[in-house]
Amino acid sequence: MSKVRVLVGTRKGAFVLSSDGKREQWDVSGPHFAGWEIYHVKGSPVDSNRLYASQSSGWFGQLIQRSDDGGKTWKPMDNKFVYDGIAGTHQWYDGTPHPWEFKRVWHLEPSLSDPDTVYAGVEDAALFRSADGGQSWQELSGLRGHGSGPHWQPGAGGMCLHTVILDPANPGRIFIAISSAGAFRTDDGGETWRAINRGLKSAHIPDPEAEVGHCVHHIAMHPSRPGVLFMQKHWDVMRSDNAGDSWEEVSGNLPTDFGFAIDVHAHQPETIYVVPIKSDSEHYPPDGKLRVFRSRTGGNEWEALSNGLPQRDCYVNVLRDAMAVDSLDACGVYFGTTGGQVYASSDAGDHWAPIVRDLPAVLSVEVQTLS
Partner 1 sequence: MIRVLLPAHLRTLAQVSGEVKVTVDGPVTQRSVLDALEARYPMLRGTIRDHVTQQRRPFLRFFACAEDLSHEPPDAPLPEAVVTEAEPFLVIAAVAGG
Q: Which is nearer to partner 1, 176 or 363 (CB)?
A: 363
Based on the shown chain and the rule CB under 8 A, indicate whether residue 62 belongs to the binding site for partner 1. Answer: yes
How far apart (Å, rounded) are the C-alpha atoms in residues 90 and 214? 15
For the chain, how far is it from start to end, CA to CA, in angstroms?
6
364 close to 38: Cβ distance less than 8 angstroms: yes
Q: Which is nearer to partner 1, 62 or 202 (CB)?
A: 62
Based on the shown chain and the rule CB under 8 A, indicate whether residue 79 belongs to the binding site for partner 1. Answer: yes
263 close to 271: Cβ distance less than 8 angstroms: no
Strand, coil or helix: what is 338?
coil
Based on the shown chain and the rule CB under 8 A, indicate whether residue 311 belongs to the binding site for partner 1. Answer: no
Q: Which of 36, 39, 106, 335 binds partner 1 (CB under 8 A)?
A: 36
Q: Which of 58, 96, 207, 371 binds partner 1 (CB under 8 A)?
A: 58
Q: Which is nearer to partner 1, 295 or 317 (CB)?
A: 317
Region from 78-86, 164-172, 236-244, 327-335 binding partner 1, contact rule CB under 8 A = 78-86
Based on the shown chain and the rule CB under 8 A, indicate whether residue 60 belongs to the binding site for partner 1. Answer: yes
Q: Which of 27, 57, 351, 357 binds partner 1 (CB under 8 A)?
A: 57
- H helices of the chain, in order, are none
Handedness of CA 192, 56, 369, 134 (dihedral sign): positive
Based on the shown chain and the rule CB under 8 A, indicate whether residue 138 belongs to the binding site for partner 1. Answer: no
Strand, coil or helix: what is 285?
coil
Q: Using the CB atoms, write b or e for 173-187: b if 16+ within 10 Å.
A: bbbbbbbbbbbbbbe
Q: DSSP states of 132-171 as a string?
A: STTS--EE-TTTTTSTTGGG---BTTBSEEEEEEE-TT-T
Distance of alpha carbon 138 from the chain centroid? 21
Binders in 83-122 for partner 1, by CB under 8 A: none
Q: Which is nearer to partner 1, 63 or 292 (CB)?
A: 63
Q: Which of 76, 85, 147, 208 binds partner 1 (CB under 8 A)?
A: 76
Based on the shown chain and the rule CB under 8 A, indicate whether residue 67 belongs to the binding site for partner 1. Answer: no
Q: Which of 22, 24, 46, 80 binds partner 1 (CB under 8 A)?
A: 80
Q: Which is nearer to partner 1, 12 or 225 (CB)?
A: 12
Contact set with partner 1 (CB under 8 A): 34-36, 57-63, 76, 79-80, 82
